[in-house]
Amino acid sequence: MRFDPPMEEGRLLRRYKRFLADIETAGGEQLTIHCPNTGSMLNCMSEGCRVWFSRSQDPKRKLPGTWELGETPHGRLACINTARANALVEEALRGGVITELAGFAGLRREVRFGEENSRADFCLQFATGPAWIEVKSVTLGFADSAVAAFPDARTERGARHLRELAAQARAGVRAVQLYCVNLSGIEAVRAAQEIDPAYAAGLCEAREAGVEVLAYGAEITPEAISLVRRLEVLL
């Protein structure tokens, strides 16, 4: 996935009210842009860090741009725009990158399923039946470690998705939890038990119920981003 038009570089001044970020561009312009990330962005930013943003050409839009990438305090690149994760996964699915899910005959996005009226990110249709796919964007990294973690804040919604996937797996339907690791320099992923023990327990229960747990890592540059390889999941 190439960034078109090309992104611009700046420096982060502050992030606030969850969805707002003040930045200073390379040319010295100060802007308030949209921060498309509902998480805590723990270990993902610091004042003065480099950021890359896309400018909006829509005159009706209130904010002039969207924060896309950031340089973490540990020197990694992170895609903080969580809306990119599903597009990256779809690109990888259609390109055959995610080999465990190759060979599907149909793909639908945002499909309702389960007893708790959840919405799966993808439903793939195989000759043997459907496969329900839940995608999570991972950006939480740590100093001197190539292991990333999810989530970066408590997530009841994420726990509900795991319950729904586990119920499908117990019923004999294929169910997959897929971590889209939008952080450079990562070799493995784990549940952030220290942040959300309920989610970590739910992930183990889902795995025991037959849910497939996969992680794929992204190659990130200011010009493009794509999922390129499978990562280990540590449970």
CATH, range 84-234 = 3.40.1350.60
pLDDT (0 to 100) of residue 115: 87
- Give the ranges where 29-181 is alpha helix by DSSP (H): 84-94, 156-170
**What is the pTM for the complete model shown?**
0.95
In the 8-state DSSP scheme, what is residue 99?
A: G
Strand-pairing partners, residue 213, are 177
pLDDT (0 to 100) of residue 123: 98
pLDDT at 21 over 90: yes
pLDDT (0 to 100) of residue 59: 83
Tokens 């890359």, located at residue: 52
In the 8-state DSSP scheme, what is residue 144?
A: T
Strand-pairing partners, residue 191, are 150
Q: Does 8-79 carry CATH code 2.40.50.580?
A: yes
Structure tokens at 196: 């959300």
Residue 34 pLDDT class (50, 70, 90 cuts): very high
pLDDT (0 to 100) of residue 181: 98
In the chain, % of residues over pLDDT 90: 94
The mean per-residue pLDDT over the stretch 108-120 comes to 92
208-228 pLDDT per residue, tens: 999 999 999 999 999 999 999
pLDDT (0 to 100) of residue 201: 98
Other C-beta atoms within 10 Å of 102: how many? 12
In the 8-state DSSP scheme, what is residue 183?
A: B
Residues of the chain with CATH 3.40.1350.60: 84-234
Structure tokens at 71: 């340089």
pLDDT (0 to 100) of residue 5: 87
35 near 19, Cβ under 8 Å? Answer: yes
Residues of the chain with CATH 2.40.50.580: 8-79
Residue 117 pLDDT class (50, 70, 90 cuts): confident
Rounded (10°) CA dihedral 148, 151, 152, 154: -160
The mean per-residue pLDDT over the stretch 129-157 comes to 97
pLDDT (0 to 100) of residue 57: 83
42-101 pLDDT per residue, tens: 999 999 999 999 998 888 889 999 999 999 999 999 999 999 999 999 999 999 999 999
161-213 pLDDT per residue, tens: 999 999 999 999 999 999 999 999 999 999 999 999 999 999 999 999 999 99
Burial of 215 (0-12, 13-18, 19+ CB in 10 A): buried
Fill in the amino acid letter for 172.
G
